[in-house]
A and B are shown apart, each in its own frame.
Chain A
Amino acid sequence: MGHPDKTETTPAAPGYREAKRRWETEYRPQVKGDDVRRNRSGIELKPLYGPDDWDSARYMADLGLPGQEPTTRGIHASMYRGRPWSPRMVVGFGTPEDYNKRMRDLYALGLTGLFVSPCNSHLRGYDPDEVERELLGTCGTLISTSDDMGVCMDGIPFDSESISVGDTAPYTLTAMLIKVAKQRGIQWQSLVGTTNQSDYLSHYAALHMFYRLDLPGQKRVLLDHIDWMNRNVPRWNPISIVGQHMQQAGATPAEAMGLTLSSAIQYANDMIERGKQPDDFLPRFSFFFDISISFFEEIAKFRAGRRVWNRLVRERFGAKDPRSGKFRFHAQTSGVDLTRQQPLNNIARVTVHAMAGILGGLQSMHTDSYDEAICIPTETTARIAVATQNILREEAHLGDVIDPLGGSYYVEALTNAMEEKIMAVIEAVDAQGGMFAAVKSGFVQKMIGQSALAFQQKIESRDEIVVGVNEYVYDGPSGAVPPALERPDGKKLDAYLAKLHAFRERRDAAKVAEALDRLGEAFSSPTTNTYEKVVEAIDAGATHGEVCHRVREAVGFGQPLVVV
């Protein structure tokens, strides 16, 4: 080949080739001949990386400096020196009062990012009195009215701290938050936060619980939401594009990143098709990922993803504003990696997850509680999870140096290899006609399902070891506090339902009916912004379920595409 041997031209490494040859002759006899190791994305790992694996002459093109193209080393010049990542915990259980109390406690412990996670009945688009009681309030908070949101936010500084709402189409929680801000005289136009479950493509492909409307309807409602929020609440992120669901469902880290970027490309194209300029909406795109325990792979995934996105926005969309290419993301430690066996071991796992996320340059993080594989996190275990982040920041000083692994031969080579894998996924989705078409046809679901099955088979065959599950099994006492599911107590639930009924009695019924009718009608006019009508309906006193029903009537109830 015409390429000169890079090691010959690396001045820092005279004699490297000779030394490496000697190392190889010593190394070979010490390992089994068939010792081939691959990471979860299928990249073969060498036992050693050196100057021949990474061309430092490409430094400026591939890495640059923090805050500069292609942002591989971080999206901000100062990273955690300027502003540490935000511990942002998903909190959701019980009644609005329960939520408020837990939130205040965690806030006192150093939480800076807020998060609202509603009950599954809410996620599926119902008011709590429409569904079976057994299903209420165990997996998220009961929120069906703006009054409920008011109780949740009592004493919580949602006007000064960014808030993430687990809000899926048609985004009633965001509308309720806006109403609460208005009621409290807060400048609602300057709210900062994220509509955290608005990425319907990922829900359709990998997590059906957030998926409510038929695909085309979902698309319309989301684009209206992005457009309305961009114009009215400019510092709000109306979309967080989610790789977490897909990776938790079984996608490899490279697949999850590639598919997420494909979704982002789809949303950007959809907005451009509406006549919007890329630099108008791209700065408000944000992302949400899973962090598995495959430590270096996750770090490389985040670094590669940041670089790919930064290039894509310029090359595909011609974005000029540097903010458009900033790959801002929240990440959550992997629940799938946690074990029911010997649950205290999970504290070690979560620590590794969290380190990978921090070294990968995330902006905010949820650390799982150690009992997450057993039940919904309790207060005690959630406190340990927050403390884990505090320890990594304050005691381990992980935030002191920006991108501390930058320049590591291994990490840079792995970042390049992950980028190749990620690009291959993006190209495969492009060939399907984009992410919308690829989830509609089941292409994405098949990819994820196959990877999930392949990984499980490795565990069954013990090619992949899970401590305490298929190796190092120990049946003795775990020492963990026996977890009990915290369930909303019956009386509290009754009181909640009574409050909901009183809310419906109290409001101006004619005004609500009129607002809901206008919402329904908005769907027959392609130029009316439907989200504006959602905000107006909530303002008028409509409940979450009422809004969802009206939107479903207009665009159809989504059914999952079941692909086995």
Chain B
Amino acid sequence: MTRIDPGSAEAVAVLVSRLLSGETRALAKAITKVECGEAGAAALLAAIQPHLGHATVLGITGPPGVGKSTLIDALIAELRCRGKRVGVLAVDPSSPVSGGAILGDRVRMARHTGDAGVFVRSLASRGHLGGLFRTAWGVIQVMDAAGPDYILLETVGTGQSEVEICDYAHANLVLCAPGLGDDIQAIKSGILEIADILVVNKADQPNAATTVSQLQGMLGLRSAAASGVSVVTTTASTGEGLPALADLIEAIARDRTTPAGRRRGSRGARRALANAAGDRVRERALQAEDSSPIDALCERFARGEIALDAAAAELVRLVADGEDGGE
């Protein structure tokens, strides 16, 4: 028997129809294809475009140890009780030295492993900065095509600079633990701006109330644009506060059909493209061969013969020329 090339149009069409019919194996394979940019990935993404938009995408971020995975576990349980189907993309960091990774987030979600209404996929950041991974936009679309009501996107959780998630998600949950001044600092310095819902998790600990009022104080100082931000408390380990959180999320899911909600979603594609283009330019600059035009540009910049902005513009042009030439 001859094997069909998995990147062929025929194979992709079969995979897409299996994916759309909700077959788990097809979803897993399609994610791999898009995640790794395997042959046929572009065709697959093109084919699923008419089938997107059902899922509400929620970003879940916050500093390490704050309980993101445990909150997701509790949130899955609550959403399942409401008859919703849930997909989870959980991102862990890759080792900068070996490129390998230990993907352990789903350990906290173990009780949902056998539930056909839940699909969890662990992914490694593979050097991508910003809390997700390079092909996240496409993978979210693949997951959406499989038909879940919600997609929960768990970031690496470095705490800061995870802003790209706000362009991929319809709403962002930012988690913080009570009583940790450093967390508050981290939130002040960046991710507070991207929060739609601030979750004070581990609410059974002392200081939870103080943290809530601190956060509300900070929100009060901000512009009217931040007025829609909710602050909720949860204790993921007991499930306390989860029904209220799920109510908020369901309200967002209904509301995203408004023009504002749609606009937000469309920024994702733009962000994904900009990130990919940025990665490409970066790779070319860092891996330029000796005495290539890019190498020469870098040398000129190193000697101070050309200013940063001018050099950057020149670099983009050189990379574009290289792309045209097909290398």
> Chain A: residues with CB nearer than 8 A to chain B?
441, 559, 562, 564
How far, in angstroms, from A92 to B67 measured CA to CA in the complex? 40
Residues of A near B102 (CB, < 8 A) are 564
Partner of B104, one of A441, A559, A564: A564
B interface, over-half SS: mixed
> Which B246-265 residues have C-beta < 8 A from chain A?
none
Residues of B near A559 (CB, < 8 A) are 110
B158 to chain A, nearest CB (A): 18
Q: Can you offer 6 A-B residue contacts whose CB atoms are under 8 A?
A: A441-B65, A559-B110, A562-B104, A562-B107, A564-B102, A564-B104
> Which B280-307 residues have C-beta < 8 A from chain A?
none
Residues of A near B104 (CB, < 8 A) are 562, 564
B103 to chain A, nearest CB (A): 10
A34 to chain B, nearest CB (A): 27
> Chain B: residues with CB nearer than 8 A to chain A?
65, 102, 104, 107, 110
Residues of B near A564 (CB, < 8 A) are 102, 104
How far, in angstroms, from A564 to B126 measured CA to CA in the complex? 19
How far, in angstroms, from A562 to B106 measured CA to CA in the complex? 10
How far, in angstroms, from A564 to B104 measured CA to CA in the complex? 8
B122 to chain A, nearest CB (A): 13
Residues of B near A562 (CB, < 8 A) are 104, 107
Nearest B residue (CB) for A562: B107
**Most A-side CB within 10 Å, residue of B65, B102, B107:** B107
B144 to chain A, nearest CB (A): 30
**Nearest 6 CB-CB pairs, A to B?**
A562-B107, A564-B102, A564-B104, A562-B104, A559-B110, A441-B65
Residues of A near B65 (CB, < 8 A) are 441
How far, in angstroms, from A559 to B73 measured CA to CA in the complex? 13
How far, in angstroms, from A328 to B110 measured CA to CA in the complex? 40
B85 to chain A, nearest CB (A): 24
How far, in angstroms, from A562 to B110 measured CA to CA in the complex? 11
How far, in angstroms, from A559 to B70 measured CA to CA in the complex? 12
Nearest A residue (CB) for B110: A559
Residues of B near A441 (CB, < 8 A) are 65
How far, in angstroms, from A146 to B181 measured CA to CA in the complex? 55
A253 to chain B, nearest CB (A): 28
How far, in angstroms, from A559 to B107 measured CA to CA in the complex? 9
How far, in angstroms, from A562 to B103 measured CA to CA in the complex? 11
A415 to chain B, nearest CB (A): 38
How far, in angstroms, from A35 to B110 measured CA to CA in the complex? 49
How far, in angstroms, from A441 to B202 measured CA to CA in the complex? 13
How far, in angstroms, from A559 to B110 measured CA to CA in the complex? 9
Nearest A residue (CB) for B65: A441
Nearest B residue (CB) for A557: B111
How far, in angstroms, from A506 to B110 measured CA to CA in the complex? 38
How far, in angstroms, from A441 to B107 measured CA to CA in the complex? 15
How far, in angstroms, from A562 to B70 measured CA to CA in the complex? 13
Nearest A residue (CB) for B103: A564
How far, in angstroms, from A562 to B105 measured CA to CA in the complex? 10
B20 to chain A, nearest CB (A): 35
Residues of A near B110 (CB, < 8 A) are 559
A559 to chain B, nearest CB (A): 7
How far, in angstroms, from A203 to B205 measured CA to CA in the complex? 25
Residues of A near B107 (CB, < 8 A) are 562
Nearest A residue (CB) for B238: A556
How far, in angstroms, from A559 to B65 measured CA to CA in the complex? 17
B276 to chain A, nearest CB (A): 31
How far, in angstroms, from A564 to B65 measured CA to CA in the complex? 14
How far, in angstroms, from A441 to B65 measured CA to CA in the complex? 9
How far, in angstroms, from A564 to B102 measured CA to CA in the complex? 8
How far, in angstroms, from A559 to B108 measured CA to CA in the complex? 9
B318 to chain A, nearest CB (A): 43
How far, in angstroms, from A441 to B66 measured CA to CA in the complex? 11
How far, in angstroms, from A265 to B102 measured CA to CA in the complex? 34
A395 to chain B, nearest CB (A): 50
A287 to chain B, nearest CB (A): 31
B70 to chain A, nearest CB (A): 10
How far, in angstroms, from A559 to B104 measured CA to CA in the complex? 14
How far, in angstroms, from A441 to B102 measured CA to CA in the complex? 19
How far, in angstroms, from A562 to B102 measured CA to CA in the complex? 12
How far, in angstroms, from A441 to B104 measured CA to CA in the complex? 16
How far, in angstroms, from A441 to B64 measured CA to CA in the complex? 12
How far, in angstroms, from A562 to B65 measured CA to CA in the complex? 13
How far, in angstroms, from A562 to B107 measured CA to CA in the complex? 7
How far, in angstroms, from A562 to B108 measured CA to CA in the complex? 9
Nearest A residue (CB) for B102: A564
B79 to chain A, nearest CB (A): 20
A84 to chain B, nearest CB (A): 47
How far, in angstroms, from A342 to B282 measured CA to CA in the complex? 55
A449 to chain B, nearest CB (A): 11
Nearest A residue (CB) for B237: A214
Nearest A residue (CB) for B107: A562
B182 to chain A, nearest CB (A): 16
How far, in angstroms, from A130 to B107 measured CA to CA in the complex? 24
Nearest B residue (CB) for A442: B65
How far, in angstroms, from A559 to B102 measured CA to CA in the complex? 19
How far, in angstroms, from A564 to B107 measured CA to CA in the complex? 11
How far, in angstroms, from A110 to B327 measured CA to CA in the complex? 81
A446 to chain B, nearest CB (A): 12
How far, in angstroms, from A559 to B112 measured CA to CA in the complex? 13
B106 to chain A, nearest CB (A): 10
B102 to chain A, nearest CB (A): 5
Nearest B residue (CB) for A563: B104
How far, in angstroms, from A562 to B69 measured CA to CA in the complex? 12
B212 to chain A, nearest CB (A): 23
How far, in angstroms, from A509 to B84 measured CA to CA in the complex? 41
Nearest B residue (CB) for A561: B107
How far, in angstroms, from A559 to B109 measured CA to CA in the complex? 11
A216 to chain B, nearest CB (A): 10
How far, in angstroms, from A564 to B110 measured CA to CA in the complex? 16
B100 to chain A, nearest CB (A): 12
B82 to chain A, nearest CB (A): 23
How far, in angstroms, from A356 to B110 measured CA to CA in the complex? 43
Nearest B residue (CB) for A560: B107
B216 to chain A, nearest CB (A): 28
How far, in angstroms, from A335 to B65 measured CA to CA in the complex? 34
B113 to chain A, nearest CB (A): 12
A21 to chain B, nearest CB (A): 47
How far, in angstroms, from A554 to B107 measured CA to CA in the complex? 23
